[in-house]
Chains A and B, each alone.
Chain A
Amino acid sequence: MATNEENSNTKKLQVRRFKPEENPEKHYLNEEKGIWAWMTTVDHKKIGLLYLGSITFFFFVGGVLALLLRTELLTPAQSFIDADTYNQVFTLHGAIMIFFFLIPSVPAVLGNFVLPLQLGAKDVAFPRLNLASYYIYVIGAAFTLFAIFTGGVDTGWTFYTPYSATTSGNVMAMTFGVFILGFSSILTGLNFIVTIHKMRAPGITWNKLPLNLWGLYATSLIQILATPVLAITLLLLTMERLLQIGIFDPALGGDPVLYQHFFWFYSHPAVYIMIVPGFGIISEVISTFSRKVIFGYWAIALSSLAIAFIGFLVWGHHMFTAGQSSLANMVFSFLTFLVGIPTGIKIFNWLATMYRGSIDMKTPMLYAQVFLFLFTIGGFTGIMLGALSVDIHLHDTYYVVAHFHYVMMGGMVMAFLAGLHYWWPKMFGKMYSEFWAKISCAILFVGFNMTFLPQFVMGAQGMPRRYFNYIDQFQSFHQFSTIGAYVMGVAFVIMAIYLVHSLLKGKRASSNPWGSRALEWQISSPPSLHNFHHVPVIVNGPYDYHKPMSEFQLGIAASHNGHHAEEAVSVSQSEKEQA
């Protein structure tokens, strides 16, 4: 039995094939019932779904706020809300979308659900800590909602001093909410790192780790190293407001530029907390739907780590006009371009993976293609903003707004939707309407470009961001953009309808509807409460589509975990069955 021997030099394992049970009666969704079982669950899959519910709620709130903003901007002067409300709405739109949707979206929802499955583990390393992270997130969110209802916050999501130190409104509750939220992020990152290091199934060496996990690993590193700086910054901000200690406020002897350094030292890496896990999803989706070995495994894996590392050194590119020295500007500009290279490498690797593949343009793959196109635009416009002289003109205009929406929404949200549609059958054991999913994706694509392409032009023409009123020259651009936002709203409504329909009346999904080789598809859909009733053994890379499916469903034959499986079948036999 050749497969056994290549497994390990020192230890021989008796393995056999474990075929996943199709449409199991008992699975993680129905094994424990009742609201209390959900609230106190330590199951990583359920915690992932709790997060999914929460971020869907916040995405809805943030989206409605965005539509309010766009509606107000239909006319150059006041349309239906006053300046103060407008400022609160754009602050909340940014803060909610970033802190309560984007940052937890992929790691906490899809990461929680998929990470142990891809490792062949029964759960994350610290399941209770995982649940605690969720509740910390909820408490942070509660503080933020409290801030909204007790005066609101109108500082922008960046809380720049000295404005944030002087404005009325409940800045303290809001920053405290974000402060608490940071701990959720740190603990999730810690949990993931330990899990990836310690709980890989036999045979998952570092070069067989799915790229999704490389993405999550790089993300977790950033979460652990960068988030404390945000916590420190917000704490100092609170001390300044509460105790009048001069740190950032010039009136008290502080320096507002120091605040910007502190803030972006976290918030620029945070951009990578949002996008790097997206890269992982895209790698999984493209190889699965091309049914082909991923091109440049190590290039993709290491470029994620490279981005995570260089990402720590470019924060100053948010401050080219802020009054930092020319030398600092030069260094930050230079390093910014260096981040572009690993990102470009990834794009080319994904394209090369599609080359001579067997491409099935299912919804997740369609989202991955949308991602490639929109994220590339986001990347190129990032190069534009990294160029010092051009950035002087474009900084703080709608060009920047369009750029980061292309990266965050065109990149991250599309990657998240690709992942959501990809793992949906695994999560709920149900299929969604492929037809409506593609329609919705197409509408979203059109709406997105209608909304944000005009903003590049507006910004280059000089329209500053965060403007309640604007000069008449920009009205047609703004109106076009607003219509695009409504179109996107329609796409999301369609998505909500077909996903709910899928939950209620969807066709049952098979254990592996996409024919993927990845480990999470080698168990039933939905998985049982403890994922694996056997210890899975990995002999091939996660993208070895040239190897037969049977080699991806191996597990240790001797049952030692109390679960009694069926009679053992040797690998060679099952291979014969395949043939």
Chain B
Amino acid sequence: MNRLSEFMLPPAKSTLAAETDALFHFINVTSIILLAGITFAIIYFSWKYRRRSEDDVTPVITHNNKLEITWSVIPLILVMIVFGWGFTGYLNLTTAPDDSYEIRVVGKSWLWEFHYETGHVSVNELHVPVNRPVKLIMSSDDVLHSFYIPDFRVKMDVLPNRYTSVWFEAIETGESIIYCAEYCGNAHSNMLATTYVHSVEDFETWLETAGSADDDMDPVELGEQLVTRNACDTCHSTDGTRLQGPSFQGLWGSEREMQDGEIVTVDENYVRESILEPNARITAGYDPVMPSYSGTLSDRQIDAIIEYLKTLQ
């Protein structure tokens, strides 16, 4: 049973996952029993009552009230059980405890931003403490996204015009994948993030030191890290491959034609503008889909990215 469960479902790593899984298994087992009965009836009747001669006479059975009531009422009872079970599970899933630790989530095409109480922002990395309810307050900067952590059995659409939320309490430390589950364009399937569940102490330490480790790093090295950490590489390759946006390779210092025909030299000002106001000038042949990093990246971080771009010739 456990092996079958492992085959069917991802590991259950939140307090509420087990309840969802129990209903999942209940419906599966009941369905398989009923399906087996129906399949048996199909095969048995097809063989037992196969046509023996063209003159076969069949009985006239137009209806049978007792039988029909039975096979209406039993399924009705079963689905009402499933309804009640599913609904109570759902209420638990949507009612976050009052003492939940709150993290702000912003979905952008195509990355996830996580804003912590300290003001720190991490991209595509969600850090949470173990054994503590965490409530995510979410919104989107552009189109619809959907925040989905299979290991925690939570999913919620992320909308541009209102806040939605999910909550969970992780029961073990480790990593869990985050997907975007609402189709959002070309890099929809690359809009992945990772949840890092830390012990409470580790989480406190991470929160205090996050971001400060960058201070004494070489600008080029920092730029390279920032490009990965902020999911720039979801859309901009560093090896010349064409993705959603122009490749970074050979970009620096080159002359590019914009959509309105203007020729632009890729210099410090253009890169800075492209990061903070990405849709101001779009390279010809590309769509205006990049989200703004204004408020996410500091000036010093943008400097580091520029230094890194210079090395990609």
Taken together as a complex, chains A and B put the C-alpha atoms of A545 and B56 apart, in Å, by: 10
In the complex, whether A292 has a CB less than 8 A from a CB of chain B is yes
Which chain A residues in 132-177 approach chain B with CB under 8 Å?
154-156, 160, 162-163, 166-168
A377 B183 Cβ-Cβ under 8 A: no
Chain A residues packing against B (C-beta within 8 Å) = 83-84, 87, 154-156, 160, 162-163, 166-168, 250-251, 255-257, 290-293, 295-299, 321-323, 326, 329-330, 333-334, 337-338, 340-341, 344-345, 347-348, 351-352, 354-361, 369, 372-373, 376-377, 380-381, 383-384, 386-393, 395-397, 457, 460-462, 464-471, 515, 545-546
Hey, which chain B residues are within 8 Å of A333, CB to CB?
83, 86-87, 90
A390 B86 Cβ-Cβ under 8 A: yes
Taken together as a complex, chains A and B put the C-alpha atoms of A359 and B44 apart, in Å, by: 11
Give the shortest distance, in Å, between A76 (CB) and chain B (any CB): 10
B188 A467 Cβ-Cβ under 8 A: yes
B38 A351 Cβ-Cβ under 8 A: yes
B35 A460 Cβ-Cβ under 8 A: no
Among candidates B9, B146, B181, residue contacting A461 with C-beta atoms closer than 8 Å: B9
**Stretch of B147-155, B213-221, B247-255 contacting A (4+ beta carbons < 8 Å):** B147-155
In the complex, whether B227 has a CB less than 8 A from a CB of chain A is no
How many residues on the B side are at the interface (Cβ–Cβ under 8 A)? 86
Query: Given A358-B49, A389-B23, A326–B63 Cβ distance below 8 Å?
Result: no
Hey, which chain B residues are within 8 Å of A290, CB to CB?
49, 58
Hey, which chain B residues are within 8 Å of A359, CB to CB?
45-46, 49-51
A392 B181 Cβ-Cβ under 8 A: no
In the complex, whether B96 has a CB less than 8 A from a CB of chain A is no
Give the shortest distance, in Å, between A327 (CB) and chain B (any CB): 11
Hey, which chain B residues are within 8 Å of A330, CB to CB?
87, 90
A357 B82 Cβ-Cβ under 8 A: no
A352 B24 Cβ-Cβ under 8 A: no
Give the shortest distance, in Å, between B35 (CB) and chain A (any CB): 6
B20 A321 Cβ-Cβ under 8 A: no
Give the shortest distance, in Å, between A490 (CB) and chain B (any CB): 25
Report the nearest A residue to B75, measured CB to CB.
Answer: A344
B45 A372 Cβ-Cβ under 8 A: no
Taken together as a complex, chains A and B put the C-alpha atoms of A97 and B17 apart, in Å, by: 36
Taken together as a complex, chains A and B put the C-alpha atoms of A388 and B19 apart, in Å, by: 12
In the complex, whether B280 has a CB less than 8 A from a CB of chain A is no
In the complex, whether B276 has a CB less than 8 A from a CB of chain A is no
Give the shortest distance, in Å, between B249 (CB) and chain A (any CB): 18
Report the nearest A residue to B85, measured CB to CB.
Answer: A387
B157 A322 Cβ-Cβ under 8 A: yes
**Stretch of B64-72, B266-274, B303-311 contacting A (4+ beta carbons < 8 Å):** B64-72
Query: Given A250-B161, A330-B87, A334-B83, A358–B42 Cβ distance below 8 Å?
Result: no
B90 A388 Cβ-Cβ under 8 A: yes
Taken together as a complex, chains A and B put the C-alpha atoms of A452 and B212 apart, in Å, by: 49
Give the shortest distance, in Å, between B150 (CB) and chain A (any CB): 3
Beyond the given A295-B62, A359-B51, A387-B27, please list 6 additional residue pairs across the A-B interface where CB-CB is below 8 A. Answer: A84-B186, A167-B185, A337-B82, A344-B71, A344-B72, A389-B85
Report the nearest B residue to A296, measured CB to CB.
Answer: B63
Taken together as a complex, chains A and B put the C-alpha atoms of A359 and B43 apart, in Å, by: 11
A345 B72 Cβ-Cβ under 8 A: yes
Chain B 6-35 interface mask (CB, 8 Å, partner A; 1/0): 011110000000011001100110010011
Query: Given A340-B79, A354-B46, A361-B50, A256–B144 Cβ distance below 8 Å?
Result: yes
In the complex, whether B1 has a CB less than 8 A from a CB of chain A is no
- Interface pairs A-B: 4 shortest CB-CB: A462-B150, A389-B89, A387-B86, A358-B56
Taken together as a complex, chains A and B put the C-alpha atoms of A393 and B83 apart, in Å, by: 16
